[in-house]
Chain A
Amino acid sequence: MQQTFPFTAIVGQEDLKLAVLLSVIDPAIGGVLITGHRGTAKSTAIRALADLLPPVKVVTGCPYRCDPTEHSPDCPHCSNQATLKSQIQAVPVVDLPLGATEDRVVGSVDLERALVDGVQAFSPGLLAAAHRGFLYIDEVNLLEDHLVDLLLDVAASGRNVVEREGLSVRHPARFVLIGSGNPEEGDLRPQLLDRFGLHARIKTLHDIEQRVEVVRRRLAFENDASAFVASFDKEQSALRKRLQKAINAKPKVTLPESALMLAAQLCDRLGIDGHRGELALTRAAVALAAYEGKKSADPELVARVAPLALAHRLRKDPLEPAADDERVKRVLEEALG
C-alpha cells in the first residue's frame, strides 16, 4: 500500500491545520478553502486527513453508509428497511480529479451492465462516495463552472438527485467540501468563496530553520516511508484521541452571550451580507473550545477564528489597500476596545 505523509509531520502552516481539524470536529462549519502558493503542503494535509478521522457507525449493506441512529428518508436503501444493522467504518476522504465528468460526479447508469446485460442500474458517483465524509477538490478554481454549481447545490441541500437515462434516483449526500487552489492560476467565483465556512491562506515558509525541517522530513519520508510514518505513530494517535474527545465534548460546549455579541458585531462592522458568516464563526469557536478542552466558547476564541471564518466574505473594495485578513484584525481590535 502507498503510504501517506502523516498530518502531524507537516511543518508550520498552523492556519491550514486548524481549519481542517475544526471541520473534522464540526462538519457543519461548512467546509474549508485553502489557497496559497504552489508546493505548500495543501494536498499533503488533506490526503493525510483520512488517517486521523475517527471511524463512524454505518448501516450494514447501505451503499451510502447512512447513520443508523438517524432516520434517512432520502436513502433508497435505508428508507425501505424496518430494522437496521450497523457496523463500524472509516470516514471517506474522496478526491475529485479535475478531468471528472458530471456523470461520474453525480452517478449514472452502470455502463458495464448497460453494455453487457442491457440493464439500467444506477452506479453511485463520487458524491455518494463522499457522504458523511470529505470531498476534496484540488485546484478548485480551475474546475468547470457547471460542476461547481452542481457541487454547491448538493452541498447546500445535502442530497443528490439524478434524473438521466430514464433513471430517477435520489440519495443523501452530506459532505464537507474542501477545496484548494492557487489564486494566481485563476480567481474563484465570489458565490463559491462565500459557501466555504473557513478559508485558510497559506504562504511559503520564510523561516530557514522551518524550511530545512520541511526538506529533512520529506527526504526521510521518500527514503523510507514506512519507517518515517512509524516514527510519527505516537503523535498521530494522540491527535486522533484528542479529536475523538473534542467530537464527544462539542455538544456540551456553551456559547456565552458575550461571544455571540462579538460575532454579530464583527459581521456588522465588516459589512458582511447574510448570516453564513456568524454561523461559521460561532461554530468554529465552539469547535475550537472543544478541541482545547474548554467548556465555553468565550469571545477570545471567537477572535482567534475570526480571520479564518470572515476574511473571505468581505466585499471587494478596490480602494481598500489592506489585505482582507488585516481588515478583519483591525475591526477585531476596534470591537475588543
Chain B
Amino acid sequence: MSQPSLTRMPIGGLVALDVPRLALMMLAVDPALRGVALAAPAGSGKSALLHGMRELQPDLPWVELPLGCDSEALLGGLDLEATLQQGRRVIRSGALARAHGGFLLAESCNLMDDGSANTLLGALEDGVVRIEREGLSLRSPAEFRLLTSFDPSEGAPRAHLLDRLGMIVMMPTIRAGEARASIVRRHLQPDAETWSDEAQLLRGLIESAREQLPRIKLGDAQRRELIRTADALGVQGHRADLFAIRVARASAALGLRDEVQREDLELAARLVLLPRATRQPEQSASAPPPESPTPESTPPPEARDEMDSDSKPLPSEEELELAEEVLESLAVELPDALASLSFARQRSGRSGSRGATSGQRGRHVSSVPGLPRGQRLDVIATLRAAARWQRVRTRRRQGIALTSDDFRIKKYRSKAGALFIFAVDASGSMALNRMRQAKGAVHALLEQAYVNRDRVALLAFRGHEADLLLPPTGSVELLRRAVDQLPTGGGTPLAASLVASLEVAEQAKRRGFGNIVLVLLTDGRANVGLKADRSGVDTEVKQLAHAVAATGIRSLVIDTQRSFLSQGNATQLARALAGDYLYLPNAQGTAIAAAARQVASA
C-alpha cells in the first residue's frame, strides 16, 4: 500500500474538521445538494478534505479540474487530430461531461475566470452541457457534484456560482495546540490501516443514511423556521430555502434519526443560510417581532376578528422563537460571513467595463476571432481554426489555406496593482475603534502588497480638515510610524475627506494607477462643511461624492454606526459614490482588507 501524500490524506485521518467533513458526508448522501465550497486560508487542510471524498465514494466518476483551464477543457470539443486522421467528426468530451454521475473537483474557484465560472454554473444548474461553438452543436448529460474551495483573503468567488452550491463551509482555523500537534503527528506517521477502517465506517454510514433519507420527517414549523431565518438574513432567491431543508434532512439521516431536530436546523442555517446572508437581522433577540402588534395599536376585539379573517395567520410564538434561536447561534460568525463572501455586496449602479481583459501584458487568458491589427496573433489557435476547413479549401489552393475568419488574437488579463485609499472618520467617540480597524486592514493589505503590486494610503478626518497620515506606499514600516499617535474627537468633515481623497487619487492616476479604491470608515453623518453652512453639508457631500464616482474611483463605505436607528446616512453616501456598502461595526481589519480587495478585483 502506498504512503498517503501530504495533500491527499484519507478523510478519516483528519481531526478537528467536523463540520466540513459532515458537509462532504451530506453531499454524498444527497446529490441534490449539488456541491460544497470550503472557505479557508491556505494550508488548512481543505484540499486534503476534498480529495477525501474520493475514498468515501470510490465507485463514482472523479474529475479534477486544473486551475486556469479554459472553456474548451470544460465543455469538450472537436478532437482535431483524430478528426483529420479519420475523416469523420470525433468529439473529445470535456471535464463536465466526464464528471457525469460523479464528482468534479475544482479548487480555488475564486481564481477561475468569468467564462469558465459561467460555464460551470450553467451545467451545475441544468445537469446538461450544451455546446454551441466552433461548428459544433452538442448536448451531453453532466449531472455532477462540485467540490471546491477558496481562500477568502484572495477574494471571494462569484456569488452566482456559490449560490448554486448547497453548502458553503467557513472552516475554522485550528487554534488548539493539541489539534495542531495531532495533525502533524498524523502526517508524519500515517497509519493507513486505521484510516481505511475509518473510511469504511464512513462509507457504511453514508449507505444507511441514504436509505434513511426518504423517511426523514421535517415538520411544517421547522420548514417555516428555516425560511424565516433566510428572510431575516436577507438571503436572495429561493435556492437557499430548498438547500437548507435538504441539509437539515441529510443531517438527520446521518444521525440515523427519523426526524429533524434542533441541531439539524442549526447546521442547515450555518452551512446554507449564514454564508448567503446579506444583512444582519433587523431585530435583536429581545425586541418584539415586527409582525406582532404593539399594545397601543392593538385594535378592539371586533375589529381584530375582521382583520384576522382576511390577513395571513400570524406566526406562532414558538416558530418565531425557534428562528431567533437559530439566528442567535449564528451571531458570532455573521460579521465575518458578511465581509468575506460576495453575497452582501450592494452594487449601486456601477457602469462601465470591469477592465478585465485588455492590453498586451498580463496572463494570456483566451483567444478570440479577430484580425491582428496591433494585437498579438495566436498562431496555434489560428492554425487550429484553419485546420478544420483544409479539405474544402485546398481544392482551391496549395499549402495551408488561411482566410481572415481563422485569425485568432490573444487576450490578456493584466494584473496591475491597485491603490487603496483609506479615509477614516477620526471624529466622535468611536474614532479609536475605527482607527484600529483601519490599521488592521491597511496592515493586512500591505502584507500582500508585494504580490499584487498594490499601494495603500491612509487619511484621517476630524474637526475641519483631513490629514494624509500615510501617502501611497507599499511599506509596512511606514504605516507603523505614521499612525502611532492620532488625535480624535470633534466634528465630522466628510466633504474635506472626499476632497483629500480626490487629490491623492489624481496624483496616483498621473503615476499610472488605473484601479483606485476608496475605503471610507464612517457612520456617514457629516456635520462640518467645506464652504457650506450646516444646512448645506449634505448637498455638498453628495456633489463631491458624484465627483469621486465620475473620476472612476471605486468606493466601499464601511458603516460603523452601532445603532440601527440612525442607519441610512452611510447607505446614502455609498449610493452617491456609486460604491459598495457594508455594515460592519465590529469587523476585524483582515475582513475589511478582504472586502476592499474584492472591490478592487470586481
Residues of A within 8 A of B (CB): 37-41, 43, 95-105, 108-112, 114-116, 118-120, 123, 125-126, 138-139, 142, 164-165, 182-187, 204-209, 211-212, 214-216, 218-219, 222, 316, 318-319
Q: Say yes or no: A211 contacts B345, CB within 8 Å.
A: no
Task: Tell me the B218-253 residues at the A interface (CB within 8 Å).
Answer: 223-224, 227-228, 230-231, 235-242, 245
In the assembled complex, 28 residue pairs joining A and B whose CB atoms fall closer than 8 Å, in A order, are A37-B237, A38-B163, A97-B131, A97-B132, A98-B118, A99-B132, A101-B369, A103-B133, A104-B136, A109-B389, A111-B78, A112-B88, A115-B87, A115-B88, A116-B88, A116-B89, A118-B391, A139-B118, A185-B158, A204-B236, A208-B231, A211-B230, A211-B231, A211-B241, A214-B241, A215-B241, A219-B242, A318-B578
B398 to chain A, nearest CB (A): 15
A101, A142, A214: most-surrounded residue (chain B CB, <10 A): A101
Contact B159 A39 (CB under 8 A): no
Q: Known contacts A115-B87, A165-B392, A214-B241: does B347 contact A184 (CB below 8 Å)?
A: yes
A208 touches B160 (CB 8 A): no
Choice from A123, A183, A184 contacting B135 with Cβ under 8 Å? A123
Nearest CB of chain B from residue A144's CB, rounded to whole Å: 8
Contacting pair B89 A95 (CB below 8 A): no
Interchain CB contact under 8 A, B231 and A101 = no
Residues of A within 8 A of B231 (CB): 206, 208, 211
User: Which residue of the partner chain A has the closest CB to B550?
Assistant: A318
Q: Rank and list the top 3 A-B pairs by shortest CB-CB distance, nearest first.
A: A39-B237, A111-B135, A39-B239
Contact, CB under 8 Å: A208 / B118: no
Contacts of B224 in A (CB 8 A): 208, 212
B309 within 8 A of A: no
Does B122 have its Cβ within 8 Å of any Cβ on chain A?
Answer: yes
Partner of A39, one of B78, B132, B236: B236
Whether the pair B237, A40 counts as a contact (CB closer than 8 A) is: yes
> Contact between A215 and B223 (Cβ–Cβ < 8 Å)?
yes
Say which one of B295-303, B348-356, B555-563 lies at the interface with A: B348-356
CA distance in complex: A169, B158 (Å): 40
B238 touches A41 (CB 8 A): yes
Query: Which of A97, A164, A207, A319 gathers most chain B CB within 10 Å?
Result: A97
The smallest beta-carbon distance between B1 and chain A, in angstroms, is 41
Give min CB distance, B351 to chain A, whole Å. 5
Residues of the B chain whose Cβ atoms lie less than 8 Å from the Cβ of A102: 369
Task: Produce 1/0 per residue, B75-106, CB < 8 A to A.
Answer: 10010000110011100000000000000000
Q: Which residues of B contact A104 (CB under 8 A)?
A: 132-137
**Across-interface contacts of A208 in B (CB, < 8 A):** 224, 227-228, 231, 315
What separation, in Å, do the CA atoms of A111 and B79 have in the docked complex? 13
Expressed in whole angstroms, the Cα–Cα distance for A118 and B223 within the complex equals: 62
Given A115-B88, A211-B238: A109 touches B392 (CB 8 Å cut-off): yes
Give the distance in Å from the alpha carbon of A232 to the alpha carbon of B352 in the complex: 44
- Is B388 interfacial (CB-CB < 8 Å)? yes
- Assess whether A39 is in contact with B238, with CB atoms less than 8 Å apart: yes
Q: Does B115 contact A (CB under 8 A)?
A: yes
- B242–A207 CB distance below 8 A: no
CB distance from A179 to the nearest CB of B (A): 15
Looking at the assembled complex, report how far the CB atom of A162 sits from the nearest CB atom of chain B, in whole angstroms: 11
Find out whether the CB atom of A38 lies under 8 angstroms from the CB atom of B132: no
Q: Tell which of B237, B239, B240 has the most Cβ of chain A within 10 Å.
A: B237
Contacts of A39 in B (CB 8 A): 163, 236-240
Given A38-B237, A99-B115: A105 touches B388 (CB 8 Å cut-off) = no
Question: Contacts A112-B88, A208-B231: A101 and B132 contacting too (C-beta < 8 A)?
Answer: yes
Query: Hey, which chain B residues are within 8 Å of A164, CB to CB?
Result: 405
Cross-chain contact B88 with A212 (CB below 8 angstroms): no
By a CB distance below 8 angstroms, the chain A residues around B261 are none
**Chain B: residues with CB nearer than 8 A to chain A?**
32, 71, 75, 78, 83-84, 87-89, 114-115, 118-119, 122, 125, 130-137, 158-160, 163, 223-224, 227-228, 230-231, 235-242, 245, 312, 315, 345, 347, 349-352, 354, 369, 388-389, 391-392, 395, 403, 405, 542, 546, 549, 576, 578
User: Of B78, B84, B245, which contacts A215 at CB under 8 A?
Assistant: B245
Q: Are B312 and A98 in contact (CB under 8 A)?
A: no
Report the nearest A residue to B116, measured CB to CB. A99
Q: Which chain A positions have C-beta within 8 A of B347? A: 183-184
Across the interface, do B245 and A38 meet the contact criterion of CB distance under 8 Å?
A: no
When distances are taken between beta carbons in the complex, the residues of chain A under 8 Å from B132 are 96-97, 99-101, 104-105, 125-126
Complex CA gap A170/B526 in Å reads: 62
Query: Which of chain B's residues has its CB closest to A126's CB?
Result: B132
In the complex, which residues of chain B have a beta carbon less than 8 angstroms from the beta carbon of A110?
A: 135
Are B137 and A184 within 8 A (Cβ)?
no
Residues of A near B114 (CB, < 8 A) are 142
With a CB–CB cut-off of 8 A, which chain A residues contact B242? 215, 218-219
Is there contact, CB below 8 Å, between B350 and A187?
yes
Residue ID in chain A nearest B136 by CB atoms: A111
Closest beta carbon of chain A to B251's beta carbon, Å: 17
Chain A residues near B137: list those with CB within 8 A: 104
Query: Which A residues are in CB contact (< 8 Å) with B391?
Result: 114-115, 118
Nearest chain A CB to B145 CB, angstrom units: 16
How far, in whole Å, are A234 and B308 apart by their CA atoms in the complex?
31
Q: Report how far A108 CA is from B137 CA in the complex, Å.
A: 11
Residue numbers in A under 8 Å from B241 (CB-CB)? 211, 214-215
Query: Which residues of B have CB within 8 Å of A185?
Result: 158-160
A101 pairs with B134, CB closer than 8 A: yes
A205 with B245, Cβ < 8 A, contacts A99-B133, A114-B391, A118-B392 known:
no
Shortest B89–chain A CB gap in Å is 5
CB contacts (< 8 Å) of B163 on chain A: these are: 38-39
Given A99-B71, A184-B159, check contact A316 B227 (CB 8 Å): no
* Contact present for A119 and B238 (CB under 8 Å): no
CA distance A105 to B135 in the complex (A): 10
Distance in angstroms between the alpha carbons of A212 and B388 in the assembled complex: 53
Are B238 and A40 interface neighbours, CB within 8 A? yes
Measured in the bound complex, the distance between the Cα atoms of B227 and A209 in whole Å is: 9
Q: Is the CB of B345 within 8 A of A184?
A: yes
Determine how close the nearest CB of chain B comes to the CB of A195; give it in whole angstroms.
Answer: 17
**Inter-subunit contact B236/A142 (CB<8 Å):** no
Closest chain A residue to B83 by CB distance?
A115
Quick check: B236 and A38 within 8 Å, CB to CB?
yes
Across the interface, name the chain B residue whose C-beta is closest to A163: B405
CA distance A208 to B289 in the complex (A): 14
- On chain B, the residues within 8 Å of A103 by CB distance are 133-135
Across the interface, B388 reaches (CB within 8 A) one of A111, A120, A222, namely A111
Question: In the complex, what residues of B have CB within 8 A of residue A126's CB?
Answer: 132
Asked if B160 and A38 make an inter-chain contact with CB atoms under 8 angstroms apart, the answer reads yes
Given A38-B236, A318-B546, the answer on whether A98 and B119 have CB atoms closer than 8 Å is: yes
- Pair A99/B119 contact, Cβ less than 8 Å: yes
Closest residue on chain B to residue A144 by CB atoms: B368
For B237, what are the chain A residues with a Cβ–Cβ distance below 8 Å? Answer: 37-40, 204
**A contact residues around B228 at 8 Å (CB):** 208
Assuming the contacts A95-B130, A208-B315, A318-B546, asked whether A215 and B236 have C-beta atoms less than 8 A apart, the reply is no
